[in-house]
Structure 1
């Protein structure tokens, strides 16, 4: 379920990324979430989840991890009527059954 994914983003999200890009120090890998000490040169999922938890706790919001955010996003897309095949591709799943299974886990 890992690998490169190409997804579309709207103009608002892209403008936020453009602002972020202005603040980042350049790196030879041209990565957004760059971490030079990491084996793979990117911030790990564990670090992202830890930072997310800290931010949410500071906002008095019950913490969730990045997977919960991904599947909330997928659920919203499906509730808006987007085809499950599109959502499956957006999540980077190999087949619709993977998407259905994980959405069922997070809907409980």
Structure 2
């Protein structure tokens, strides 16, 4: 069993994430770990903070405190960017940008 345990490493670690918008604390110390081979889902009612935590994990939104690690790196690191892909819920592009500019953006 030791070999199996050694192969299992945290792909995503979220520790005590806090996100505040003005007077509204949207995320209050959110923590979880996703291990190699796991299937993970975020479920909750509207306004629970699902999109906010995903935006923080994706490096799109800055959080106020806590730590996020993807494969041992910060979400905004080059190493993470070249290994993950993100499809936003809704996307719209400025009509004046080129296809190359759109590709660089995403």
Give the TM-score range, shorter chain: under 0.3
TM-score by length of 2: 0.27
Task: Write 1 or 2 for the structure with the bigger share of strand.
Answer: 2
TM-score by length of 1: 0.27
Task: Write 1 or 2 for the structure with the bigger share of helix.
Answer: 1
